[in-house]
Structure 1
Amino acid sequence: MKKLTFLTSMFFLLIFQASQASAEKVEITLVDQLNGILNGYCFDVAGGNRDIDISKGLQTHTCYSYRGELGEDQVFETTRFADHVLYMPNYDVCATLTGLEAGAKLGLATCNNSELQSISFSDSGKVSPVSAPDLCLTAGEETRFGRGGTSQHQIKTLTLEACSDDKSAYQTWRTRTYDDDPV
């Protein structure tokens, strides 16, 4: 009986480890560098470091991978992309739209499988609500510098806008690990 229990425990441990090994942590970055002077723009929790407050939602911000590792407030787990979920494991929250209309922002909330958390990341790089595929997550055109303008880190808004070829530079995303070369 003890041998069977041990073997069963080992089996479940191996299954758990295999599922953890396949969970790749990535940043979501624009394909186009736009005017980025350090490392392009990534989905980012507004107000990082000691001031992290997930209630502020997501923005686009200089990607931290140029430092040799992913930024804690820019990490997403790829295992949930197939389920149309943008999951941030460092905070155990999911990206959550504030609405399904142009101008809606991308917040963060406890994962609940709601329509506002059902977000498709297409092979072509479009990030859209499953129920509103004509809307794309879009980096803002205006840029500001972090820390009241004293940092080289650049920040743009992140909102839902009509998908458009004219805005493709602001709407086409990809994932990368810290050691990927930018496209």
Structure 2
Amino acid sequence: MKKLIFIKMLLLVSCGSESTTTESINNSKVSFPVEIYLTNTLNDSRGYCLDIIGYKDNANVSKGLQSHSCYSYQGQISVDQGFDSERISQKEFYIPHFKVCMQAQKIQESSLIDLKACDKNENQKFILQANGEINPESNLNLCLTVSKTFREGGGGSPIHLIRDLSLEICDESLISYQKWGTRKSN
């Protein structure tokens, strides 16, 4: 009898208007930081990640975005390489620590990549495709591309490496420089 009363009370409580349903749990989106990395490590075993020019908390958003040795080998994603996972799925490459979005200077070949306050303008809308390409939504023939040349950064052991970023025509022969992925850590 006590079990039956307990079950009825449990049902009443769980059927209340403020209860959490499976549907509301499934509809809630959980965001977490991810690094966006080039799937081909090229000449750096740590890989290349999208990165704000500068160093971690002291990065300078006005200098734009580059590809840089991934920091996750240090055990966590760095604030200057951490993108909001949920907003990527909404075509917005947002770096929460600095409250900025990736933005192409222009939607054309050879355009460089800046960081600006998010305002959902055309130059901020990018799609991470299933094949790993990152394209401006308004021109799917352009791909986010790392340069073939690299330079040494200012720290790390071994020394960190840097490559410039630009929009270039998507090309199968450039797949090593145009295919990206996301991950929680290295």
TM over 0.5: yes
Matched, 1:174 2:177: no
Is the CA contact (8 Å cut-off) linking 1:77 and 1:87 kept in structure 2? Answer: yes
Matched, 1:73 2:74: no
Matched, 1:133 2:140: yes
1:163 to 166, 170, 178: 170
Unaligned runs of 5+ in 1: 1-6
Alignment of 1:97-136 (within 5 A): 97-136=104-143
- Rate the CA distance shift 1:66–1:111 in 2: closer, same or farther, 3 A: same
- Rate the CA distance shift 1:149–1:73 in 2: closer, same or farther, 3 A: closer
Alignment of 1:1-183 (within 5 A): 19=28, 22-37=30-45, 39-49=46-56, 51-147=58-154, 152-178=159-185, 180=186
* Rounded Cα–Cα distance in structure 2 between residues aligned with 1:67 and 1:75: 14
Q: Between Structure 1 and Structure 2, how many residues are aligned?
A: 166
Q: Give 4+ residue runs of structure 1 displaced > 4 Å after superposition.
A: 148-151
| Distance apart, 1:49 and its partner CA | 3.8
Is the CA contact (8 Å cut-off) linking 2:64 and 2:114 kept in structure 1? Answer: yes
Is the CA contact (8 Å cut-off) linking 2:57 and 2:80 kept in structure 1? Answer: no
Is the CA contact (8 Å cut-off) linking 1:40 and 1:63 kept in structure 2? Answer: yes
Is the CA contact (8 Å cut-off) linking 1:145 and 1:151 kept in structure 2? Answer: no
Is the CA contact (8 Å cut-off) linking 1:33 and 1:41 kept in structure 2? Answer: yes
| Distance apart, 1:119 and its partner CA | 0.6
Unaligned runs of 5+ in 2: 1-16
Quote the residue 1:4 is aligned against. Answer: none
| Distance apart, 1:52 and its partner CA | 1.6
After superposition, the C-alpha distances for 1:105-142 in whole angstroms (9 at most, x for unaligned) are 11111110100001111111100100010000001111
* Rounded Cα–Cα distance in structure 2 between residues aligned with 1:168 and 1:150: 28
After superposition, the C-alpha distances for 1:74-109 in whole angstroms (9 at most, x for unaligned) are 000111122211011111111111001111111111
Is the CA contact (8 Å cut-off) linking 1:127 and 1:137 kept in structure 2? Answer: yes
SS in 2 for 1:170: helix
Is the CA contact (8 Å cut-off) linking 2:133 and 2:143 kept in structure 1? Answer: yes
Is the CA contact (8 Å cut-off) linking 1:34 and 1:40 kept in structure 2? Answer: yes
Q: CA RMSD in A?
A: 2.3
SS in 2 for 1:23: coil
Larger proportion of helix: 1
After superposition, the C-alpha distances for 1:41-78 in whole angstroms (9 at most, x for unaligned) are 00000112464210111000000000000011000011
